[in-house]
């Protein structure tokens, strides 16, 4: 739509053009008075020059005023001035019958049409009608000839009115077209500005996406992304969240509360959170979080944050997560910023997907390398574990074979006992390997029955005490333990492994204590030792196949399969096996099994 300023500019241009025409008309008036007009009545020539002088002075004044500024009252005054000057000329030259001077009033009508449209043309024409009557009467009364002729009034009036209406309609049409052109120009400028803003948004989004794609390392990529994003939008906290299996995992976070509220790597359920809407491909804008619509907003409010925008990360039609920005102010985001974030969500999704895929592949590769190293260690370990007892068995057997008659009875018994012990070691080793392969294949068999766990613990403790004399093994059972439904031999295998490990890694003179108690529908068995302890990083490793502690693993023989088998048996019984340990403080292995319901 045209503004008041544009209307004023058009009106000022019209006034300036009319002022220039008026100056040119002064020259024409001088020529008419001095050259083309003859036989003036007495005193008329002097009046004609006076009228011309007034006309010239007024033309200069109105030109100067119109050139400097536009004032509506000046235009009206100029119209009245021109009407008066032309009326004066028409009256002066009425002494000439048929003088065309009165037709100069056409210019006044055109001026009215130019300034005020059809209304101005009509008003000026009607205002000139009395003058036409007067000048016709004046001619007939003062200069003789034909008397008053109405046709010399009606015809000029009709011509003036029709001409004015035509010019007025043309002016109206031109103004309409000018208004339409200005409106279209304004729309074009707005579209250009919108296009420019969208180009700027796209370029900004591309910069952020390129920054995020600059590295496949999460920390480096997110750091570059944050640096670009801060140059575009102010924020107090930014988060990239990925969704997998109904859980939202924080991939990266920066700003307030990064270590305490939803830190990187943390996860929580999607259900009930704002992500429910984001996963439908919707952008979620929360101008204020005071209404506690979503449960996670309580923690953000505690950090002093009040508004947030969650943009979906979309790869094709699929939403893989969200980009979230949070500010301390309520209503903190403008429509342009929200539009930019929505665009960013689409642009950075592919980069995020690539980083996630790379992280998954790298994790898989690291796991494969770790397993490969464990298998290599296992092969080396088993080779050693097999070689040592086999060498002992072969050496003892050949000695008995070659020197049977030379050896005493006690010596023979000693060699035979050695062969029996080492053969048992080989059998245990082979048994562990077979059990591991059966567990992996899902063919590990169980025979469930009622088990008296207290009796089983006492039997294992007695066997461990009888088999060595360096470590004391004691049993403490608090109250009567409920019977368990389980495989007695497999449970004995678990407890035996825990006790054997405790004895193996405890120094001479130390105590190994086995305790058991029932609580909350579970039977809890603890095996405590006074060994060197297990580093925190190794406490997960020792329950994996071939996994051994870096502190104690190199000093004691073993395959690294016992605890893997023990945990598998415990889980098959609906229980669990965990460890609590610290360096130089010993270890506590806890076995929990569900009690049989009465």
User: What's the pLDDT tens digit per position in 425-474?
Assistant: 677 677 767 777 777 777 788 888 888 888 888 888 888 887 778 888 88
Cα–Cα dist 517/148, whole Å: 138
Is residue 252 packed enough to be buried (19+ CB in 10 Å), middle (13-18) or exposed (0-12)?
A: buried
Q: Which of 167-176, 230-239, 303-312, 559-568 has the highest mean pLDDT?
A: 303-312
Domain formed by 218-360, architecture = 2-Layer Sandwich (3.30)
Q: Which residue has the higher pLDDT, 520 or 390?
A: 520
Give the whole-angstrom CA distance, residue 231 versus residue 251.
Answer: 22
What integer pLDDT is reported at residue 75 of this predicted model?
80
Q: What is the pLDDT of residue 116?
A: 82
Q: What is the pLDDT of residues 373-431, one digit of tens each?
A: 656 666 665 665 666 677 777 877 888 777 777 888 787 788 787 787 778 767 767 77
pLDDT of residue 515: 92
Averaged pLDDT, 528-532: 89
pLDDT at 156 over 60: yes
- Check residue 391 and give its pLDDT: 74
Q: What is the per-residue pLDDT across 82-119, written as a single tens digit (0 to 9) for each?
A: 888 888 888 887 777 777 777 788 888 888 888 888 88
Rounded to whole angstroms, the Cα distance separating 10 from 12 reads 5
**Three-class secondary structure of residue 583 per DSSP:** coil
Record the tokens describing residue 318, joined without a space: 């699929």
Half-sphere exposure of 456 (CA within 13 A, CB side): 22
Contact 192, 138 (CB under 8 A): no
Distance CA 326, CA 285 (A): 10
DSSP symbols for 210-246: HHHTT-SSHHHHHHHHHHHHHTT---SEEEEEEEETT
- Mean local confidence (pLDDT), 26-37: 82
> Percent of the chain beyond pLDDT 90?
5
* pTM score, whole prediction: 0.43
Establish how many alpha carbons lie within 13 A of residue 54's alpha carbon, considering only the half-sphere containing its beta carbon: 15
Ordered by start, the domain boundaries in the chain are 4-185, 218-360, 449-594
Average pLDDT, rounded, for the chain: 81
pLDDT band at 590 (very low <50, low <70, confident <90, very high): very high
* Residue among 595, 561, 586, 565 at smallest CA distance from 577: 565
Q: What is the pLDDT of residue 527?
A: 92
- Tell me how far apart the alpha carbons of residues 179 and 320 are, in angstroms, rounded to a whole number: 50
The CATH code of domain 449-594 reads 3.30.565.10
CA 523 – CA 533 distance, rounded (Å) = 25
Closest listed residue to residue 357, CA positions, set 205, 213, 238: 213
Judged against a pLDDT cut of 60, whether residue 5 lies above it is answered with no
Q: What confidence tens digit (pLDDT) does each residue in 178-226 have?
A: 788 888 888 888 888 777 766 766 676 677 677 766 766 767 777 777 7
Phi, psi of 245 (to 5 degrees): 60, 40
**Are 218-360 and 449-594 equal in CATH topology?**
no
Contact 587, 535 (CB under 8 A): no
Q: Residue 557: what pLDDT?
A: 62
Distances in Å between the alpha carbon of 84 and those of 55, 144, 216?
10, 25, 87
Rounded Cα gap, residues 483 and 469, in angstroms: 31
Q: CB atoms < 10 A from the CB of 352, how many?
A: 27
**CA dist., res. 105 & res. 88, Å (int):** 11
CA distance 251 to 266: 8
Q: Which range has the worst mean pLDDT, 16-25, 297-306, 344-353?
A: 344-353
**Distance in angstroms (rounded) separating the CA atoms of residues 67 and 13:** 9
- Copy the structure tokens of residue 41: 């009545």
Q: What b/e sequence results for 144-157 when a residue is b if at least 16 CB atoms lie within 10 Å of its CB, and e otherwise?
A: eeeeeeeebbeebb
> Does the structure show a pLDDT above 60 at 284?
yes
């Amino acid at each position: 739509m045209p503004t008041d300023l544009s209307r004023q500019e058009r009106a000022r241009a019209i006034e300036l053009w009319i002022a220039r025409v008026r100056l040119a008309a002064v020259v024409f008036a001088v020529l008419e008075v001095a050259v083309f007009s003859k036989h003036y009545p007495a005193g008329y020539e002097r009046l004609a020059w006076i009228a011309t002088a007034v006309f010239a002075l007024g033309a200069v004044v109105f030109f100067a005023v119109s050139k400097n500024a536009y004032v509506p009252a000046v235009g009206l005054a100029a119209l009245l001035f021109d009407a008066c000057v032309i009326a004066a000329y028409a009256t002066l030259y009425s002494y000439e019958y048929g003088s065309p001077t009165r037709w100069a009033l056409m210019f006044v009508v055109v001026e009215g049409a130019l300034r005020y449209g059809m209304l101005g043309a009509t008003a000026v024409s009607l205002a000139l009608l009395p003058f036409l009557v007067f000048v016709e009467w004046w001619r007939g009364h003062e200069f003789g000839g034909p008397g008053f002729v109405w046709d010399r009034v009606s015809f000029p009036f009709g011509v003036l009115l029709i001409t004015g209406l035509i010019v007025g309609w043309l002016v109206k049409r031109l103004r309409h077209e000018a208004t339409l052109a200005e409106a279209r120009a304004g729309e074009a400028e707005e579209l250009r500005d919108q296009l420019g803003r969208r180009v700027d948004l796209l370029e900004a989004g591309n910069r952020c996406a390129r920054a995020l794609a600059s590295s496949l390392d999460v920390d480096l990529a997110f750091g570059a992304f944050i640096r670009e994003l801060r140059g575009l939008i102010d924020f107090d906290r930014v988060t990239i969240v990925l969704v997998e299996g109904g859980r939202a995992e924080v991939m990266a976070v920066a700003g307030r509360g990064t270590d305490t509220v939803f830190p990187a790597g943390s996860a929580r359920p999607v259900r009930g959170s704002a992500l429910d809407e984001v996963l439908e491909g919707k952008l979620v804008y929360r101008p204020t979080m005071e209404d506690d619509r979503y449960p996670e907003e309580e923690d953000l409010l505690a950090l002093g944050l009040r508004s947030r925008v969650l943009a979906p990360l979309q790869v094709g039609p699929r939403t893989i997560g969200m980009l979230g920005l949070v500010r301390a102010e309520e209503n903190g985001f403008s429509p342009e910023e929200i539009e930019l974030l929505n665009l960013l969500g689409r642009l950075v999704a592919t980069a995020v997907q690539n980083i996630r895929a790379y992280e998954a592949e790298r994790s898989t590769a690291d796991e494969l390398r770790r397993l490969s190293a464990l298998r290599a260690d296992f092969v080396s370990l088993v080779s050693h574990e097999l070689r040592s007892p086999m060498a002992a068995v072969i050496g003892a057997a050949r000695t008995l074979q070659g020197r049977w008659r030379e050896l005493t009875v006690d010596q023979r018994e000693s060699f035979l006992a050695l062969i029996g012990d080492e053969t048992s070691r080989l059998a245990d080793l082979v048994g562990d390997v077979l059990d591991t392969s059966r567990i992996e294949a899902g063919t590990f068999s169980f025979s469930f029955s009622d088990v008296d766990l207290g009796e089983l613990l006492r039997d294992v403790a007695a066997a461990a005490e009888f088999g060595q004399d360096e470590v004391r093994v004691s049993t403490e059972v608090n109250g009567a333990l409920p019977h368990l439904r389980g495989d007695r031999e497999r449970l004995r295998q678990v407890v035996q492994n825990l006790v054997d490990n405790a004895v193996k890694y405890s120094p001479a003179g130390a105590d190994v204590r086995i305790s058991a108690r029932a609580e909350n529908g579970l039977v809890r068995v603890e095996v405590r030792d006074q060994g060197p302890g297990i580093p925190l990083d190794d406490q997960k490793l020792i329950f994996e196949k071939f996994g051994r502690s870096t502190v104690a693993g190199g000093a004691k023989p073993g395959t690294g399969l016992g605890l893997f088998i023990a945990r598998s048996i415990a889980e098959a019984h609906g229980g669990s096996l965990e460890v609590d340990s610290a360096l130089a403080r010993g270890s506590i292995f806890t076995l929990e099994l569900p009690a049989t319901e009465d």
